[in-house]
Structure 1
Amino acid sequence: MIVVDAHQHYWQPARGDYGWLAQAPAALQRSFLPADLRLQREAAGVQFSVLVQAAPSEAETRYLFGLARQDPAVVGVVGWVDLEAADACARIESLKRDGDGLLCGLRPMVQDVVDPDWLSRAALDRAFDCMQDLELAFDALVTPLQLPALCRRLARHPQLHSVLDHAGKPPIAHGDDGQWLEWIDELAQQPQLHCKLSGLLTLLDPGMHEDAIGPCVKHLFDRFGASRLLWGSDWPVLTTHADYSHWLRLAQTLTQRYAPGRQADVFGANAMRFYALDASILS
């Protein structure tokens, strides 16, 4: 079985555009580069990955292109563009050219925006139109408060290939997931929306058992089905709660429980199809 990690990061804090790292756990405030992941990925049996932006700058996206060219396991890059810029379309087109086939999607860091309705602003329409026209995926990095705005955005762009990062960050640790459940039910009715089975362990408070993510995972399978779920490691953020192989094994166990026989889809085929990755790597 070909395994594709649909969500991993590299970063180099010395570059200076990772503002969020100042509030991150100390263990994450260092560089994480291809050499740090290669052996872990190989040991886990993961052949390929999608590299996702971690800084709100086009310069970082171009930096990721360079790292991807050094790391043969990386088959796609999800980058960042200022979607509010007057020339957002030209910026997107420029990034796609510079990526030379690597750029497969864009991810505004919506979770860090104060206005919960930002994603539904009309000022972003042209940028999303451009993403849709260029067949670039939209990674939705949101919290439950921003799920209503995401629903409105997707309604305006019914052909946009979209994926919910980290399942929309359900409040697993706090037990007040009613709002998240309602919006997941609503969003899952939009067939172009996929969801990443990623980032769930890091939502647990210290001392919580990993079994606490089970009901959330079951709900995702119930609503999205195995054909719209993509496994991702969220490495190196993952390292604050588990190692790479452990999360992969746990996700495989949960997939076998809730969607028996669908491992190949969740752990590889769905990511290949969603991000329109080079199918020749499967041969």
Structure 2
Amino acid sequence: MIIDAHHHLWTADCPWLAAPGLESIRRDYTIADLVPRLDAAGVTATVLVEAGRCDAAETAEFLALAAATPRIAGVVGWASLTDPALPATLAGYQGLPGATKLVGIRDQVQAVADPGHLARPDVRAALATIGAAGLTFDLVVHLGQLPACAEAARATPGVTFVLDHLGKPRIDADGLAGWRAAVRDLAACDNVVAKLSGLLTEAGPGWRVADIRPYVDTALELFGPQRLMAGSDWPVCDLVASYAEAWTALDACLAELSPDERTAVLAGTATRTYALEVGS
């Protein structure tokens, strides 16, 4: 069994797609585009992650889609960590069709300039509210925010954090040491798991498996297979690699794991962390 723990769906008018260099993915991506790719790659089920609209209506749409699509086992929806109405937003999600597939929440922390954002009392309270609701919090952050993520994880032990894309390391000859130093404290927090996703995009055009393998190896060392999950980051990965190529590259990086370790990374960690009912 393989679970794609991180993919998106969107429409061409998604605001962030207007940025230069994104022309090739500036189109609608629907479930009809996804399913043939899942079948070809042997992927059993997926987790659909909010796509940067920062709009509760998107989460409602994704939950309805998940209710009608057994292959979507879970949805990571959007909510703002600084919205006083967060409890009401979460309660509203619980009343929607597909609510049982809401497994986590994400906010676009990577876009916040304030280095103290995750230390704000209202943000810490929001994180605790998300955890109390039985939901994970996905961390979409950049390298410089990793120390603040570790502080937040230690301060809110009742929350399960999921680090997207390994924190977006700089993948080049000098990037590994700096990323390792930044992510080490976060990996030491038992309430944090991480996604092996998005690495090909960070590596850029002309990527090689050898470029990302040291980062996967380091993640395996620091987090261990039981706290790592695999994700395609499709359709973002289409900037540099197809859906199939993303899985082939990751599979190559996991080739030396034992069968039990591979099972953990490819399905077990996602199933446990997000409490997925695969096939339901």
**TM-score normalised by the shorter chain: which range applies?**
over 0.9
Name 1:181's counterpart in structure 2: 180
Equivalent pair of 1:9/1:52 in contact (CA under 8 Å): yes
Q: Which AA in structure 1 matches 2:120?
A: R
**1:20 and 2:16 are equivalent in the alignment:** yes
5+ residue gaps, structure 2, are: none
- Correspondence list, 1:112-123, <5 A: 112-123=111-122
Structure-to-structure mapping, 1:258-273, within 5 angstroms: 259-261=257-259, 262-273=261-272
Matched, 1:39 2:39: no
CA distance in structure 1 between the aligned counterparts of 2:62 and 2:99, rounded to whole angstroms? 12
Partner of 2:72: 74
- Partners of 2:193 and 2:236 in 1: CA distance: 21
**Bigger shift: residues 265-274 or 201-210:** 201-210
1:95 Cα deviation after fit: 1.4
Matched residue, 1:29: 26
Letter in 2 for 1:220: A
Residue 174 of structure 1, CA deviation:
6.2
**Are the counterparts in 2 of residues 173 and 205 from structure 1 also a CA contact under 8 Å?**
no
- 2:47 — aligned with what? 50
Question: In structure 1, how many angstroms separate the alpha carbons of the residues matched to 2:84 and 2:205?
Answer: 44
Q: Secondary structure at the match of 1:32?
A: coil
Give identity over the alignment, percent: 34
The corresponding residue for 2:169 is 170
The residue that corresponds to 1:243 in the other structure is 242
Secondary structure, aligned partner of 2:107: coil
- TM-score normalised to structure 1 length: 0.92
Q: Is the 8 A contact 1:78 1:106 kept in 2?
A: yes
What count of residue pairs does the alignment treat as equivalent? 276
2:58 maps to 60
> Could you tell me how far apart the structure 2 residues matched to 1:278 and 1:176 are?
37
Aligned equivalents of 1:123, 1:256: Cα separation in 2: 43
Residue by residue over 1:77-126, the C-alpha shift from the partner in whole angstroms, topping out at 9 and shown as x without a partner, is 00011221112111112113324201100011111112233122112122
More divergent stretch after superposition (68-77 vs 205-214): 205-214
Residue ranges of structure 1 left out of the alignment (5+ in a row): none
User: 1:222 aligns to what?
Assistant: 221
Q: Distance in 1 between matches of 2:118 and 2:28?
A: 30
